[in-house]
Amino acid sequence: MPATIRDVAKKAGVGLGTVSRVLNQSPQVSDRTRQRVQDVIDELDYSPNPIARRLSLGKTHTIAVIIPFFTRPAAVERLRGITYSISGTEYDLIVANIETPERRIAAFRELARRERVDGVLIISLPFSEKDAELFIKSGIPLVFIDVNDPLLHDFNRIVVDDIEGGRKAVQHLLDLGHTNIGYISDVLEDPFPFSASRARFNGYRQALEAAGISPCPELHRHGEHSRSDAKIITAEMLRMPDRPTAIFAASDTQAIGVLETVREAGLRIPEDLSVIGYDDVEIADHLGLTTVRQLLVESGEKGVRLLLEVMQDPLREAECETLPTELIIRNTTAPPG
């Protein structure tokens, strides 16, 4: 059995309030008793029971992160940033991985409770008014990362300028001389209408329209966020009579699927088809994939920092920081053959 504060108090011959005070660095303890207590603490290898502490303080000392498909490379990087920032604080992190709509609902209901967490980080997940209600009612501090939704004006968030990112990608293709540009994205509707995909799509459209090209609906296809779905879509695009000379994929994972299918079809990259991805995940560099880099790790770090601030001062004005994107040109894009 671990020692308790009472054991320490008894052994040190002081009241347990005093022990509590040295534990919490209260200034109102004489150096002599502080030292005495500290010695006993060391001797007993005592460490306060965090659970009891939490109950007494009325705080859970835990932060939850709700993240879809946390094993995707981009999500992992965000999570990495989060764990970096959170270690060193007194907070525990619990992560809710969402892979189905049911889990999403369950997680929201479970975690929008003061009894469970002190703050919540929501990553890359679409958010409805009903969800918002849940959190507003519970009054739990909330920070969004990579959720860019007009609905969210009054919330704290770290967003990526995906419209600009999408525009940059397409502009790059345009600059190279492409006019027939396909776009492969995640599903834009249920179950997870990732707002990022939509924003990138808007960037795609904007760039095209600015160049006087009217986006052809045939060239915009979506599927599950996976290599395999991207492959299927790519194959369809390649079969089009007037097939695109370049493809912009909403993520590197999907871009890799594109590369695969194109090569299997016996076409050369970038001579026969240009491909550009999004995220700049680690392997992109190895593959020579041209892509749009976003600050994944930083987004996690900043999210935690912001959440901590909000938790400290729940009434502060909502803040929205936009992270930049950067075009990384490698070897999968070139002028059309």
Partner DNA sequence: CTGTTAGCGCCTTCAA
Partner DNA sequence: TTGAAGGCGCTAACAG
| Residues binding a second copy (CB under 8 A) | 1-2, 47-52, 54-55, 60, 62, 70-71, 76-77, 79-80, 83, 87, 92-97, 103, 113-116, 138, 227, 256, 259-260, 283, 286
Q: Shortest distance, CB of residue 133 to a second copy, whole angstroms?
A: 13
- CA 65 to CA 84: how far, in whole Å? 14
Q: Give the β-pairing of 325-328 and 290-294.
A: antiparallel
Please state the closest distance from residue 49 (CB atom) to a second copy, in A. 4
Distance in angstroms (rounded) separating the CA atoms of residues 263 and 273: 10
Among 38, 44, 48, 260, binds DNA (CB under 7 A): 48
Q: Which of 35, 43, 55, 209 binds DNA (CB under 7 A)?
A: 55
Q: Which is nearer to DNA, 12 or 292 (CB)?
A: 12
**104-123 residues near DNA, rule: CB under 7 A:** 115
Two structure tokens written together for 88: 């060193």
Residue (18 or 333) nearer to DNA, CB: 18
Distance between CA atoms of residues 111 and 96, nearest Å? 9
Site for DNA in 278-307 (CB under 7 A): none
Assess contact for 215 and 208: CB atoms under 8 A.
yes
Residue 10: contacted member of DNA, a second copy, none (CB under 5 to 8 Å, by partner type)? none
How many chain residues interact with DNA (CB under 7 A)?
29
Residue 59 interacting with DNA (CB under 7 A): no
CA count, 13 A, side-chain hemisphere, 84: 14
**CB-wise, 14 or 107, nearer to DNA?**
14
If the CB atoms of residues 78 and 198 are measured against a second copy, the closer one turns out to be: 78
Out of a second copy, DNA, none, what residue 6 binds, judged by CB under 5 to 8 A for its kind, is: DNA
Angle at 237 between CA 236 and CA 238, to 5 degrees: 90
Q: Among DNA, a second copy, none, what binds residue 29 when CB lies within 5 to 8 Å by partner kind?
A: DNA
Q: Which does 93 bind (CB under 5 to 8 A by kind): DNA, a second copy, none?
A: a second copy
Would you say how long the chain is, in residues? 337
- Cis peptide, bond prior to residue 101, ω within 30 of zero: no
CB of 56 vs DNA, minimal distance in Å: 3
Alpha carbon distance 140, 148 (integer Å): 20
Calpha distance 59→41 (Å, rounded): 24
8 A C-beta contact, residue 289 and residue 247 = no
- DSSP element (H, E) containing 96: strand 92-98
Q: For residues 4-43, which are near DNA according to CB under 7 A?
A: 4-6, 13-18, 20-21, 23-24, 28-30, 32-34
Three-class DSSP category at 1: coil
**Shortest distance, CB of residue 113 to DNA, whole angstroms?**
11
- Euclidean distance between CA atoms 166 and 149, whole angstroms: 16
Quick one: angle between helices 5-12 and 16-23, nearest 10?
110
Distance CA 278, CA 281 (A): 8
Q: Per rule CB under 7 A, is residue 1 in the interface with DNA?
A: yes
Q: Residue 114: which of a second copy, DNA, none does it interact with, CB under 5 to 8 A by kind?
A: a second copy
Binding site for DNA (CB under 7 A): 1, 4-6, 13-18, 20-21, 23-24, 28-30, 32-34, 48-49, 52-53, 55-58, 115
